[in-house]
Amino acid sequence: MVQLSKFIAVAAACLAAPAIAHPGEKHNPHVLKREIHTRDAMAAHAKRSLGGCESTFHARELNKRSIARRSRTVQKLRQKRGITASPKKQRRDLAALEKWEAIDHNRTDILDYSPATPESVIFAANTSCILSPTVTDGPYYVWGEVVRQNVKEDLYSDGVDVFLEVQYIDINTCKPVPGALVDIWQANATGVYSGISESGNYAADGWDSTYLRGIQQTDRDGVATFESIFPGHYEGRATHTHLLTHLNATLLPNKTLEVGTGSVAHIGQLFWNEVLRSAVEDTYPYNTNTQNVTTNAEDMWSIEQADSAYDPFPEYLYLGDDLDDGLFAWIQIGINATADFTDNSYYSIAAYYDADGGHQNEDSSFGGGSGGGSGGGAPSGSAPSGTMAGASPSASA
């Protein structure tokens, strides 16, 4: 086993003048500042709420189950992939990290390695008392993706494998949120999103592409799992993974969501440690990405999401002795299960995917605007054709 070497520093959250988050996405800095202040207040309240119930019996039992589940998952992944080498041990210099990147989330690197290190140290969650706030879904959200755990496809999905576990906790009760339908989407190794064929992001197969997109339903412990890759970077944004959480949405027999049903309880982005990102991007095909890198410290949304009250960085563990063996990553996200952001300006549907393939939502405006993106041709609800999707490695997303 491996042992956690985790350091806590003072979070230095700062507000910078927003840069272009995605091509076409702009926000008023004064409005953004007010919204950050509001979210900070909400996060502080949520943290107090979670702190008041985290010691309850059901919360302690949930934590025990989570630790055991993550341990079993890693063991199964290592067995399935035939990994016999001990996980890589490294020494990290905390001072080398961006100063506001408050937590060393790497649970692989061990300063005092011992096979006797308890699993409770390794696999405890990082966010049991921290709220991850709602932020923009960006202009590249596609409604109609298929329920699937493995979002990789035959084309344009090469990269470092990531097995991601996301667990949702209700901030009001410290209980898990079962039955939530969680959308995931991200850029591929060369920084291109599927499903979008617009200036700034031309995916091969255009609107019909679906790689690195999918939906999973949370189980009784509020857990959704995905098999994906480490996301690639693109100019203007730090490396990130998008998540959007639906509650009480109708799941159709063809494994897609019925349009217009349920609430949007959370919109968030996961960010990744700079040291890990640098290591990943030294590998192929990430090293063919010619777009400029934006660090976490330079990114408008990671700054908004990183604070003493919430933490947008997943914990991660090298499954073997190098990145070729893949990563296991996990995070708990505290949400208000009674919230609904369907009509929020940050919730915008850029495109739909249905039996006829993908098509743009003409009523959607980048950076929010359409409040759910109604119009532009709602999806039929029929199952997608299953055509393999791709992206142009030379395109910018």
**217: confidence class by pLDDT, cuts 50, 70, 90:** very high
Q: Which pLDDT score, from 0 to 100, does residue 120 have?
A: 65
**87: confidence class by pLDDT, cuts 50, 70, 90:** low
Q: Which of 23-27, 34-38, 171-175 has the lowest mean pLDDT?
A: 23-27
**309: confidence class by pLDDT, cuts 50, 70, 90:** low
pLDDT at 363 over 70: yes
Report angle CA 53, 169, 270 to the nearest 5 degrees. 130
**11: confidence class by pLDDT, cuts 50, 70, 90:** very low
Q: Which pLDDT score, from 0 to 100, does residue 299 have?
A: 72
pLDDT at 288 over 50: yes
β-pairing, 315-318 vs 263-271, is unpaired
Between 173 and 209, the more confident residue is 209
Tokens (6 digits) for 185: 């989407």
CA distances from 318 to 3, 9, 95, 97, 106 (A): 12, 23, 22, 19, 9
Distance CA 360, CA 67 (A): 42
Closest C-alpha to 333, from 180, 185, 229, 143: 180
Mean pLDDT of all residues in the chain?
Answer: 73
pLDDT at 238 over 80: yes
pLDDT at 85 over 70: yes
Q: Which of 27-31, 101-105, 255-259, 284-288 has the lowest mean pLDDT?
A: 101-105
**137: confidence class by pLDDT, cuts 50, 70, 90:** low
Q: What sign has the CA pseudo-torsion 189, 131, 345, 36?
A: negative
Q: Which pLDDT score, from 0 to 100, does residue 377 have?
A: 36
Mean pLDDT of 119-148: 67
SS (H, E, C) the chain: CCCCCCCECCCCCCCCCCCCCCCCCCCCHHHHHHHHHHHHHHHHHHHHHHHHHCCCHHHHHHHHHHHHHHHHHHHHHHHHCCCCCCCCCCCCCHHHCCCCCCECCECCCCCCCCCCCCHHHHCCCCCCCCECCCCCCCCCCEECCCECCECCCCCCCCCCEEEEEEEEEECCCCCECCCCEEEEECCCCCCCCCCCEECCEECCCHHHCCCCEEEEECCCCCEEEEEEECCCCECCECCEEEEEEEECCCECCCCCECCCCCEEEEEEEEECCHHHHHHHHCCCCHHHCCCCCCCHHHCHHHHHHCECCECCCCEEEECCCCHHHCEEEEEEEEECCCCCCCCCCCCCCCEEEECCEEEECCCCECCECCCCCCCCCCCCCCCCCCCCCCCCCCCCC
Q: Model confidence over 52-64: pLDDT tens digits?
A: 777 788 888 888 8
Mean pLDDT of 356-374: 60
Q: Which pLDDT score, from 0 to 100, does residue 156 have?
A: 96
β-pairing, 223-229 vs 161-170, is antiparallel
Q: Which pLDDT score, from 0 to 100, does residue 387 have?
A: 28
Distance CA 54, CA 257 (A): 33
**282: confidence class by pLDDT, cuts 50, 70, 90:** very high
What count of other Cβ atoms lies within 10 Å of the Cβ of residue 142?
A: 26
Q: What sign has the CA pseudo-torsion 136, 141, 144, 145?
A: negative
Most confident of 85-99, 217-231, 240-254, 336-350: 217-231
Distance CA 390, CA 192 (A): 9
Q: Which pLDDT score, from 0 to 100, does residue 122 have?
A: 65
Closest C-alpha to 391, from 215, 159, 139, 137: 159
Threshold 0.75, pTM exceeds: yes
Between 143 and 380, the more confident residue is 143
**47: confidence class by pLDDT, cuts 50, 70, 90:** confident
Q: Model confidence over 116-129: pLDDT tens digits?
A: 555 666 666 544 43
pLDDT at 73 over 80: yes
Between 310 and 316, the more confident residue is 316
pLDDT at 22 over 70: no
pLDDT at 40 over 80: no
Q: Model confidence over 161-191: pLDDT tens digits?
A: 999 999 998 888 888 999 999 999 999 999 9
